[in-house]
Amino acid sequence: MKTQTNTVSLSYKSQPAPAVAAFIGWIISNLNGNPSFPSLPVPLVSPEKPDPKAPADMTTRMNSLLSAISAAEGGGVVNTAAKNAALQFALDGLDALAFYVQTVARYNLPMLLTSGFQATSTNRAQSVLDAPSVTGIDNDISTQLYVHLSPIANAVGYEVQTSTGTGAWQTAKFSTQARTITLTGLTTGTVYNVRARALGGSTGQSDWCMPGSKIVD
């Protein structure tokens, strides 16, 4: 009987910078203390006595990317170039971890999945993702909404957008999980429309789901 080999999906490379930053956080939480992967080629956090010859840790790469994303919101060639450089720096770290995980868990899919990475299909081309559904929107805390989505198999994350009235849709959050996504800094007394799409698959993202709405108390 032929042993099935597993290949780590690199679909995170086609995602927007905020989604990559969220994915790094997901990978850090899954690999931190994971006994199946004891010799990570890139540290997850900065050691107390860092080796100047060692590669930069993933937490530093993630924070650098988040700072560059924030700076680039104001536009400008220099800020955009800095964001692109920070994104590539982050992707280099993810790639190193992905190839290490693939080497260690090449014949053990459950082990591979504990890393937070996904495996590519071994018997068919990567498929188009289904759109998630908004299964609920809660407002338990003032100025916040809790958006609940239906998880989509093989998605690497989710993009949530909001709009008010007849205004344009604006991206509010990237998340690596679907069950509960918290939106903060909202205006009380305002009705927010919410929609989402899954990230990954052969096209990079699914269609947008049917929107839901909720007033913020």
In sequence order, what DSSP letters do the residues of 64-111 get, joined into one string?
HHHHHHHHHTT--HHHHHHHHHHHHHHHHHHHHHHHHHHHHTTT-HHH
Average pLDDT over residues 117-137: 79
- 69 with 149, same domain? no
pLDDT in tens, 70-125: 999 888 899 999 999 999 999 999 999 999 999 999 999 899 989 998 888 654 44
Question: What is the number of structural domains in the chain?
Answer: 2
Is 84 contained in some domain? yes
Distances, alpha carbon 74 to alpha carbons 71, 80, 83, in Å: 6, 9, 12
Among the three residues 113, 142, 165, which one is the final residue of a domain in this structure? 113
- 108 with 159, same domain? no
Q: What is the pLDDT of residue 2?
A: 54
CATH of the domain at 150: 2.60.40.10
Instruction: Provide the mean pLDDT of the chain.
Output: 89
Nearest CA to 21 among 123, 72, 89? 89
Nearest CA to 66 among 104, 16, 113, 105? 16
Q: What is the pLDDT of residue 75?
A: 82
Is residue 57 pLDDT above 80, yes or no? Answer: yes
pLDDT in tens, 32-42: 999 999 999 99
pLDDT in tens, 148-173: 999 998 888 889 999 998 889 998 98
- 23 with 80, same domain? yes
1: buried, middle or exposed (CB in 10 Å: 19+, 13-18, 0-12)?
exposed
Q: Which two three-digit tokens encode residue 86?
A: 């920070």
Q: Which two three-digit tokens encode residue 131?
A: 């759109």
Cα distance between residue 38 and residue 101, in whole Å: 10
Q: What is the pLDDT of residue 120?
A: 80
Is 18 contained in some domain? yes
Is 119 contained in some domain? no
Which pTM was predicted? 0.76
